[in-house]
Chain A
Amino acid sequence: MSATTVRPHGGRRLSAKWVTIILFLLPGLALYLVFVLFPVVQAARYSLYNWNGLNPLTDFVGIANYVNALNSDVFQNAVSHNVFIIVLSLALQIPFSLFLAVLLNRRFHGRAIFRLIFFLPYVLSEAITGIIFSLFLQPSSMLDTTMQNLGLGGFIQDWLGDTGFVMITLFVIISWKYFGFHMIILLAGLQGIPKEIEEAALIDGAGRWQAFRHVTLPLLGPTLRVSVFLSMIGALQLFDMVWVMTRGGPVGASSTMATLMFKNGFQDSDMGYGSALAVLLFLFALVLAIAYQRFVLRRDVEGAVTAFNG
């Protein structure tokens, strides 16, 4: 920028350029430092203390909170639930979203309506979605009665009350809410691939499936990897829906890292231990992000970072 050289700026006077930079940047930076970075640093600090959140911060315990967390069955159990959601999302939810994206990637009557409907759950509050499903799924409500009427009564479960089944139920609801999001991302990716490429493969004698598998899918790679990444990060943070529907129960059968952190920090006033869980959650997300970007994303880094909190 040539504006800086208009006036010689000597001594203590700030140049006009720096005044502008500071005035423009300062408000956002201040808000960000105070409400994002500072709390994150504080979480790391609190995690080294035994602290109830009210008394002075004096009882330094080093890494004891971390040791306790990593050795506790309760924490391992919660992590296993996060992992369960991640694995099922990758194995079922994303392929399903891709399947629907492929179905919608073609002009036909009603396409816009289907897209509108499939994406709708994404804009609903996760907490309110949880309430609707709690009522929908309770014994002999809508789902059970419908299954009874269809002759499927034998398959009815205590959807949210059965310790062996509750995670599956939650996974289905999470998929209900988020598959449309992945579908939209994948659909945008598909639309970025020129039709001619797949058509050329078809002309060369490839079958539909072959053309999809060997031509379209590799080209969709970057989008797919972003989708997978967002799905994993989302599953790690899972909280709202679980909290509203089960509070992590019955007997911890649907706990997640975030519900555990919330319970320990706010309900049991064990801020130190809760903070340690928060830091562990962050480390999981960080390791995942770094590993994924290092080994998988590479060229798509910008896209992935952009939609991290999406």
Chain B
Amino acid sequence: MTEPQSLGLDVEILRRLSRDRLVRVLEDAPGSKDLIIDGDLMKMFDRIAGTSLLRNHGVGKMYRLERLPPPVDSGQRVYLVKPSLISLKYIAEHVHADRVNHPHLQVHVVVVPRLVSWISSLLEEEGLYGALTLHEFTPEFIPLDDDLLTLEMTSFYRDAFLEGDFSGCVSVARAINTLQDLYGRIPNVLAHGRAATAVVNALDLLTQNNSPKKSNQIPEIGYLFIFDRDADYVTPMLTQLTYEGALDEHFGIQAGVVELPGSVVGQEMPRKIHLNSQDTIFDNIRNMHFGGVSRYLVTRAREVKAKRDQTQTMTTEQMKEFVANELRAVKTLQASLDLHLQTCEAITSATQGDLEARLLAEHGLVTGAGGAASLATDLFENLLARMLPMPNNLRLLCLYSLAQDGLSRKEYKRLASQVVAAHGHRHLCTLHNLRQLGLLTINEGSTGTTEGSGSGSTQLQERLAQMTSLLPRRGSGWKAAARRLGLVGGEDDHIDLHSPTHMSYVFNGAYTPAVAKIVSDALASRSIAPLTLTEALKLLPGTTVTRSPSPGSPVPPRVALVVLLGGLTFAEIAALRLLAVISSTRIILASTSTITGSVLLSSVAHL
């Protein structure tokens, strides 16, 4: 793959912004201090600041926030927490407990990403007003790569889509606004979905407050796309087939870091690996279809070996030059090749046998192939019987429901009872959540009353449904939308998986991620939202917001920012990276976090 031309947008500056802001917050508590971090924020802080930076600014020991207070070692304590009730209760308990023995301990609480007003009321109720100092730390998008940004708001999906709490949208809008501050106001905007609309509204408010000078700046980013995760649930439910996707599915990638278990890398301790384009081998294979990765790696390994073999016959002069110039590079290349070969092997052996059946069922469901439904239910039953982990099983169930535009009542009952038998009765709640989210729907047809609600009790539920952006009878949606948008099946039936030209290669040609397809359609047309596209978008939950520049404005640069609220899969990332090459557009991807379907489902499961 050739890299799309870099247009000088340096997203690395975002990390610097976050870092400087963090330093300022830390220096608000001058001198030495202990740091206590909310577990959910650990990964994010790893990406923003290294330990040396923290040490330079007086941080002594670091602890994870737990119920029991850590020992008191220095005169100051800084908590980094999300604005959640539990974290604050813990802090309150800590302060009350330590107050007796350490009356001079100074406590600072840094709330990430936003210091919300109820916190101070809560602290007042706890009798802690004045006993601690409150701060706010708003991170910017964290660049995981030069085209991938994340806010690491891992609870965004649950908060917004399940609980109807759209607070996170303000943080997203702020982060986008920073980008606009840096690179000029983005002229073309296409946003779809409830959360996306909320982000656009918040963004409008923020830009109103910007200085008018900014609006004259020539934009460096031409297009902004914002989508909700529920615009395309099918993509996360499908098993990812690119190398990076497979890594995420098997080992889990958090904030661009994968932790490979010791058994894979051949050592005792698990090994953390930062995944980014600096590793040239990884950069080449990350978006490759998994089927072609090992072949590529073997070829490259042979090349490297050949290079090394050359050294046997080198003269001293040549040898010197080799050592001076190339040895390091060859060594890192070798190390990287070894690593990826090992992980490749680990993934292959873990999926052996199961993968084909699963893909057959998944792709059959999506393309609507005959017999796929029964194949899928059989597979589902097997998965449950084999006591495999729940999120992965539910993925198939959800995909089944989505692709069929809902389950019949009888089918739902049967499948639900299987889920309960396999994973426990409490997961009735999980199933309920999935239904609220529209991941699981019951097709009423003509029979009977609405599930779970008497005639009089639908009101709240309907209203809540509006809230959480699910249309009560979403069942009518996916098939029609997929057809309208042309998501199923490629242009030609045969897709070259290994030197792809069509975005559906990420799912063996069976399915194109909706977000990638919409972006591709919008970029291909003259206006950001051609009529056919807006018509098709109507079939997806939520409403569309578009902004176009005033006529006569300069042609927008071919740089697009694509924001996905509620999580972005590596399959979509790969598809959009391909689109970037095909359409010669620089595409920067941003999200609340990177996810797999299993992560998404675990986040809404009832534990």
Same complex: no
Q: B-contacting residues of A (Cβ < 8 Å)?
A: none
